[in-house]
Amino acid sequence: MAIIKPTIGRVVWYWPSHLAHTSQPYAALIAHVHNDTDINVGYFDHLGVAGSEQHVALLHDDDSYGNPGDVVFSPFTGIGSEGFVSVKMGRRFVGSELKPSYYEQACRNLGQAKAEQSWLFA
């Protein structure tokens, strides 16, 4: 499966190291891209306090985070990249997108992923 290239401004899920996956992740913005798996992020915690972290490892196609059948939500779906990978990894996907052309492309991309993982939609 192709790795989605990280881009500045993309929203990603982020667990600060001090939380050690014991709570919900934060939505974070990619602030700098070092390479395909190493980024800097900016985020707001559950109290609204701004934070940042350098050299955060991006995980791709890693089944240790979540389980097949879990729901992934993207509030800014764009063309459906997160949804495509979520479905390919056996997750269900819910997203929202305001721009009609992005929505239409996301539907095509998710349709392709759905065809390859039809057992999720039965």
Same domain? For 90 and 113 the reply is: yes
- Asked if 109 and 78 touch (Cβ cutoff 8 Å), the reply is no
**E strand spans, 36-88:** 38-44, 50-57, 71-74
Same domain? For 45 and 79 the reply is: no
CA–CA distance, 30 with 43 (Å, rounded to integer): 9
Q: Identify the pLDDT of residue 66.
A: 61
Same domain? For 53 and 76 the reply is: no
Same domain? For 45 and 78 the reply is: no
Same domain? For 75 and 45 the reply is: no
Please give the chain's pLDDT, 122 residues, in tens. 445 678 888 888 777 766 655 556 778 888 999 887 788 888 887 788 888 888 877 765 554 456 677 777 777 888 888 888 777 777 778 888 888 998 898 888 888 877 776 554 44
**pTM of this structure:** 0.47
Domain region containing 87: 71-121
CA–CA distance, 55 with 62 (Å, rounded to integer): 18
CA–CA distance, 34 with 23 (Å, rounded to integer): 27
